[in-house]
Amino acid sequence: MERKLLNDYARLIVLQGGHVLKGDIVWINAGLDQPEFVTSVVEQCYKAGAKSVTVYWHHDPVNKLGYKYESVSSLGSVSPMNLAKFKYWTKKLPVVIHIVSDDPDAMKGVNQGKVAKAMAKRYPKIKKYRDAIDGKYKWCIAAVPSKAWAKKVFPNLDEEEAIEALWAAILKTSRVDGNDPVKNWDDHNAFLINQRKKLESFGLKKLIYKASNGTDFQVELIDNMLWGGGCEVAPNKGQFNPNIPSEEVFTTPMRGKAEGTLVASKPLSYNGELIEDFSISFKDGKVCSVKARKNQSLLEKMVKMDEGASMLGEVALVPFESPINQTGLLFYETLFDENACCHVALGAGFPELYEGALDMSPEQRKEVGINESMIHVDFMIGTRDLSIVGVDKNGKQIQIFKDGTWAI
C-alpha cells in the first residue's frame, strides 16, 4: 500500500479521530498485526503535541487461551493493576485510540457460557469507573488488516493480495483518497450534523420500520433526546470522531417501548463468533424471541446478559448506498458493517445525548428512559427497500427513509 496513504490515514486517526492536542496523554489499544502502522500513529500523536503515548498490545490466540484455561472467577476478577489503570483513566481522561484487526473467527470453539459468566462477574467491578468517564474523554476506533481478517473478507485471494485488498477497502471507506483526509472529514461531518439538526427539529415521538424481508417494527423516542453522528464533543477536551469510518446518525430510544420484529440484513460478529440469518422480536419493549440459522444459542445468551440486554439502546440511520455498502463487501467487523446500512443496538444507551444525564444516577437515567446494560451490540437491519416513518407529538407522519435512503 502506498506509503503516503498510510501516513494520511495515521494522521487522520490522530487529528480527526482522537483529536490529539498539545499536552494530551494517549493510550493506544492494538493487535500485533501492524506494528509499523501503529508506530506511525504513535509518531503522529507526538507530532500533534501529545505529552505521552502508551501502546497496549493484545493477541487473539493469547486471549483465547485465557478463556480456555482460566476459571470464571479468575476471568471475572479485576487485578489491582487494572483497577489502578481505571482510577488513572477517570482522573486524567487520556485520549484512547483503538486500532482493530481482530480475526472474526478468533473465539470459535470457546465456551460462550463461560465468557458470559465472566463478563457478568467483571462488569459490576468496573461499572463505576465506566460511568465516571462516559462522555468525558476523546476516543477513536479505526482498523488495519490482519492476515486472518483479510482472508475472511477475501477468501479467494492469496494472503498478500487479501491484505492489500482490505487495506484499499479500509482507506476508501475512511475517505483517505490522496487529498487531505481531515478536510474530507470536515465536509462529511458537516453533512451528518445537518441531518442531526433536521431530525431534532421534527420533535419525533416514534419511528416505524418496514421492509420486505419481514422487518415490521416501531420504537418510541425520548423527549428532548439529541441525535448524534459524525463528530462528538468531550467537555473541556474538544471535538473528536469516535468512529472512522462512520456514516450513521443515531439516537437513544425509550427503553422498554418497542414492538415488532427486526430482521438482520448482515451477520453479527459477537464475542469472536458469527451469528447469521437472524431476527429479533420485541413485545412490551423487550426481546421476546430470537431466531438464527447459525449460533442461535449465542444470540439467546447475549439478550440475557442482564436486564438491559433485552432492550434497545440505539437506533441508527445509515443510507443503503453508503460508501461501505457500495464496496459490496461483508467486513465481518461491526465498525464497518454497522456503517453500511441502518442498524440498532441492544444494551446501553448514550446518556451524553441527553442534557444533564452524565451527572445523573443510573436510576435517574432509567427514569428518563435511557437503557443501562453491560453490553452494547449493534446489528444491521438496513435493506434496499427499508422505509422509516417518524411520528411527531401531534401524530404527523414524516418519511425519514424511503427505499433504504434519506428522504429528508
pLDDT for 142: 98
pLDDT for 360: 92
Say if residue 18's pLDDT is above 80: yes
Q: What confidence category does residue 133 fall into, taking pLDDT thresholds of 50, 70 and 90?
A: very high
Task: Say which residue the cell 459490576 belongs to.
Answer: 124
pLDDT for 268: 92
Strand order in the sheet with 249-251: 249-251, 312-317, 343-347, 376-380
pLDDT digits (tens, 9 = 90+) for 93-103: 999 999 999 99
Q: What confidence category does residue 274 fall into, taking pLDDT thresholds of 50, 70 and 90?
A: confident
**Beta strands at 25-31 and 95-100: parallel, antiparallel or unpaired:** parallel
Distance, in Å, from the CA atom of 292 to the CA atom of 330, rounded to the nearest integer, reads 18
pTM attached to this predicted model: 0.91
pLDDT digits (tens, 9 = 90+) for 310-348: 999 999 999 999 999 999 999 999 899 999 999 999 999
Where in the chain do CATH 3.40.1830.10 domains reside? 3-173
pLDDT digits (tens, 9 = 90+) for 154-164: 999 999 999 99
Say if residue 1's pLDDT is above 80: no
Contact 140, 244 (CB under 8 A): yes
> What b/e sequence results for 361-396 when a residue is b if at least 16 CB atoms lie within 10 Å of its CB, and e otherwise?
eeeebbebbbbbbbbbbbbbbbbeebbbbbbeeeee
Count of CB atoms situated within 10 Å of the CB of 59: 12
Question: What's the fold here for domain 3-173?
Answer: Thermophilic metalloprotease-like (3.40.1830)
93: left (phi over 0), alpha (psi -120 to 50) or beta: left
pLDDT digits (tens, 9 = 90+) for 229-261: 989 999 878 899 999 999 999 999 999 999 999
Say if residue 272's pLDDT is above 90: no
Contact 287, 303 (CB under 8 A): yes
